Amino acid sequence: MAEDENVASSEHAFFEEKAEITLLLNEICADEVDFGAIGSCVDQVIRILEKYQEQSSLLDPHLEGIMEILTSRARQIMLAVFEEQRAAEGSGFPFQCESNPQQDAIYQVVYNLCRCRGFKTVVKLFPHEVSDLEPLMCILQSQDRNDHKKWESRYALLLWLSMLVLIPFDIYTIDSSVGSSSSVGLHVGSSTSLVGSIIAICRDYMSDSGPPRDAAAVCLASLLTRPDMDESHFLE
């Protein structure tokens, strides 16, 4: 009887740290972020999430709000970088590796949300604006693959891309490289089309030995199962 009471007392009835984690996320995603404290905030968020590994469904009523805080700031950073890359187009070095500690902290939290609740639940909560597809590709292409400490960013970005490729429009109609000699965000490998670039970057990450490989596989599967995919892509 005493053992049963101990088990019951160790279980959570609700997400007890909701207010605490909201404060921490707001610190991580602040416009004027304290880079000296951001690592500590991320660690505290991860410790809270780890307490719910066995009862992760308790997070469900709060996941949308959590992801809204994280992705709103992540999207602002992404669009700002995209505009910088567009402004630099023609300089000869349009795709320098970007390093943004706040962005990496955000995606570190996103990865741990996926680890706790499962990526299939979390991925649905990424923004899915059509206009975000090329900026997201730009961010992915500017990642430093040799920086092994920031793999969570690449994982989260690939998952986000897996949602964006499901947009209910002909994907070729939003490809700015069509009819254009150049386009920011479309310089992976020898491909210049948006679809070719997505396939190339996913195939590249399939050689990764960590979680980004799984996210790349999800993204590639989402893209190639679209009804508007040209059969030639299946032969690449």
> Span 49-67, mean pLDDT?
95
Query: DSSP character for 31?
Result: S
pLDDT of residue 226: 87
Tens-digit pLDDT profile for residues 15-45:
899 999 999 999 999 999 888 899 999 999 9
Rg (CA), the chain: 19
- Range with the poorest average pLDDT among 118-122, 146-150, 202-206: 146-150
> Span 175-187, mean pLDDT?
52
Q: What span, in angstroms and rounded, lies between the C-alpha atoms of 214 and 219?
A: 9
Q: What span, in angstroms and rounded, lies between the C-alpha atoms of 229 and 198?
A: 12
pLDDT of residue 1: 45
Q: What span, in angstroms and rounded, lies between the C-alpha atoms of 134 and 185?
A: 6
CA torsion angle 148 151 152 155 (round to 10): -170
Q: Are 49 and 113 in contact (CB under 8 A)?
A: yes
pLDDT of residue 191: 43
Tens-digit pLDDT profile for residues 138-178:
899 888 888 889 999 999 999 999 999 998 877 777 776 65
pLDDT of residue 169: 78
Two tokens, residue 71? 């992705």
Give the count of beta carbons closer than 10 Å to the beta carbon of residue 47: 11
pLDDT of residue 98: 65
pTM: 0.85
pLDDT of residue 145: 84
End-to-end CA distance of the chain: 62
> Span 67-89, mean pLDDT?
90
pLDDT of residue 209: 87
pLDDT band at 51 (very low <50, low <70, confident <90, very high): very high
Nearest Cα residue to 18 out of 51, 54, 73: 51
Res. 5: pLDDT tops 90 = no
Q: What span, in angstroms and rounded, lies between the C-alpha atoms of 63 and 57?
A: 10
Mean of per-residue pLDDT scores for the chain:
84
pLDDT band at 84 (very low <50, low <70, confident <90, very high): confident
CA torsion angle 164 165 171 177 (round to 10): 80
SS3 of 30, please? coil
Q: Are 123 and 174 in contact (CB under 8 A)?
A: no
